[in-house]
Amino acid sequence: MGALVLGGGGLTGVSWEWGVLAGLAAAGIDLRDAELVVGTSAGSVVGAQVAAGLDLEERFTAQFTALETGAPARMARVDLARSAWAVLSSREPARAGARLGRMALNARTGPEAARAAVMRARLPVRDWPERPLLVTAVDAATGAFTVFDRSGEATLLEAVGASCAVPGVYPPVTIGGRRYIDGGARSATNADLAAGHEAVVVIAPVTQGLGAIKSVAGQAADLRRAGAKVVVISPDPASRRAFGRNSLDPARRPPAARAGHRQAVSVAEAVAAVWEAA
């Protein structure tokens, strides 16, 4: 089969992606058959489990249980402004990534070990799967785009933690003496990593580009020009309402999961047309 690309979008993005995947599976389209899984940020959490072959319906159901308590994480307004400036003032993705990296390295986000413990609790798989999985991140010092896979030195937990290290919210993750931030600092999906596959399904909670960050539509268009059949699933109005205003609010997980499951019905035919052609 083709490639499955899972994009970033916070806790609500994780739950929504599970809803979409489980809904498609109920319609007879099991995307665990993908030859390649690409995960960015929230998509790396989901992608690691999809590539490992975990049951989609069980992961969907899990979005309604063991909800985290306490105040949800959020980015301060000053950090939002700094992030926007870093991206809009840079024409090259690496330069934007380096500026976001400096912000992340200087932010007061708590100890890295505490964040690693949270990620460990959220990720029910520990080892890199046999199925090809690419997890994206950005070097906080240089802004260089980095892709982790099972052949490298990063553990799966480290790679996923790095891919989810939102600048200004969570601490950068140390791997091999270097520190890394969210793969979304380069692209919401990094769908270009699916180049060379005949069919590509992109599930993207966030689609827009900004400055040096290319939009999902732009990356999908590049894949199509190269000959791939591509379908992009992005939140419909009901899903966007379900997300609420803070994608990092665990209380929004259940409505986001339900919305994704419902939306899968409306996109199943388009997904099948691409996936079954591979």
| Residues catalogued as catalytic | 41, 182
On the CB side of 118, CA atoms within 13 Å amount to 19
Is the CB of residue 238 less than 8 Å from the CB of residue 19? no
Tell the burial category of 124 from Cβ atoms under 10 Å away from its Cβ (0-12, 13-18, 19+): middle
The rounded distance, in Å, linking the Cα atoms of 202 and 124 is 23
Rounded to a whole number of angstroms, the distance between the first and last alpha carbons of the chain is: 5
Is the CB of residue 278 less than 8 Å from the CB of residue 37? no
The rounded distance, in Å, linking the Cα atoms of 75 and 86 is 15
Q: What is the DSSP code (8-state) at residue 246?
A: -
